[in-house]
Amino acid sequence: MSCHLYYLIFVFYLTQTFADFPYKKGFFDQYVDHFNLISFSNRTFKQYYLYQDESWDPKGGPIFFYAGNEGPIEGFWTATGFVHEIAPQFGAFVVFPEHRFYGKSLPFGADSFKPPYLGLLTIEQAMADFAVFLTALKEQLNVTQSKIIAFGGSYGGMLAAYMRFKYPNIIDGCLASSAPIHMQDINSPRDFFFQHVTQNFRDINEKCYDSVKMAFQKMNNLAASGPSGLRVISEEFKLCTALEDDKSYQHLLGWIRSAFTVMAVLNYPYPTGFMGNLPGFPVKVGCEFIMNSTSLLEGLANAAGVFYNNSLQCYDIYSEFIECSDPSGCGSGPDAIAWDYQACTELLSPRGSNSVTDMFPVLPWNPELRAAYCQKKYGITPRDNWTAVQFWGQNIKSASNIIFSNGNLDPWMGGGVNEDLSESLVSVTVIGGAHHLDLRSSNQLDPPGVVLAREKEKAILRQWLS
């Protein structure tokens, strides 16, 4: 997930400017704990938010609210051009509040990631932040009758949908893009993710898929031969620190798999600076490296370098990839700690790779491994049934006014809502789209499928707002 999904999830290395979508900044005095008055009483922290009101019609224009997810809010502002582009058509006020424990919105400053403060990082608290913030915003703007449409991508898409579930008195409609909410039911399939990543590469070229499989097999054979084999692997991959044992070798495998995962999730038709600098159609570029290399290992290393930067003299796999409770990756830095903790508490992850239904080596991840990791890291045992109880799991038909969009190229699609559930619980498939492509800015290289999806989404929003 963020990205996740989740995606998420994730740290954002931004190379773009915000010139196309200028914003104003604000801080809101937000409650530290909405549910236990004894713990912190009425103590508050500064919740950061961005907004623009240039196209707003104060005599009836709606509020377009983006549910901030796992990173600094500026990154989501930049990557969600669709909201900014359509705001003038609706006369909308646009606001992006930041998620607690990410970016500048740290309830306890540098101590936020220490116990017991980290326990206040929950979906429920984050949603309550948004609900309190939006209620105060409407009062401040003196537009208590204005409708609010929630937007979100990946984990933010989940939050947007959950806001409509839990606060229909505040949220009038929602566009949840690439939101794998079904995966949060412990009884839902969760082996779809690396299968879909694999299929994306296989669809480019069957030989690409075969070469990746053979490359990993060759690596396993070399690793099994001892220090000499590990030395060969280290040289082929230009590692800054040579592999020493099976633990370091397993880390390298995760580093490779993570690169292929990001290329599949962010398989946009044009270059992006979202989660690193990727070329257009990075899956195709990765396959071209694989097919044009002189050896299997060189091809695999060059393909991984599409994400990690092929121009580097050597790869520091320990800073570039950090193992965590989410097998799709958590990124690095403080935001990674927050996401790691969330993936240990309320957010369920996909299963690991198995080398049978996917092209990757056997890197298992299951509830038992997750529970052991989370107990060792945070001293907590996940309650795997809670998220489905609190956020409805697959039993969402009693909800209304939600668009669930998913790109057919997006590996997270398997955890999302992919069929209409009622007249107002609508599924939109973005043909040719990767992870929440429909929320990004319009681009001349957009596939026809995303153009059609956006028109359908706008038509539904108009219906709700009228």
Tens digit of each residue's pLDDT (9 = 90 or more) over 123-154:
999 999 999 999 999 999 999 999 999 999 99
pLDDT surpassing 50 at residue 208: yes
Of 410, 436, 438, 446, which is the active-site residue? 410
Q: What is the pTM of this model?
A: 0.94
In the set 154, 211, 258, 325, the catalytic residue is 154
Per the listing, tokens 């990690």 go with 308
11 vs 374: CA distance, rounded Å: 21
Kindly state the DSSP code that residue 98 receives in the 8-state scheme. Answer: P
Structure token pair of residue 440: 């990004």
182 among known catalytic residues:
no
**Average pLDDT, integer, range 440-464:** 98
- DSSP assigned state of 3: T
Output the pLDDT for position 333: 83
Q: Look at strands 93-97 and 173-177 and give their pairing.
A: unpaired
State residue 11's pLDDT score. 33
Q: Residue 461: what residue type?
A: L
Tens digits of residue pLDDT in 26-37: 999 999 999 999
Indicate whether 268 pLDDT > 80: yes
Q: Could you confirm whether 410 is annotated as catalytic?
A: yes
Say if residues 169 and 147 touch (Cβ distance below 8 Å): no
Catalytic residue among 405, 435, 438, 446: 435
Cα–Cα distance list, 28 to 84, 172, 346, 354 (Å): 22, 22, 26, 46
β-pair type (44-52, 24-31): antiparallel
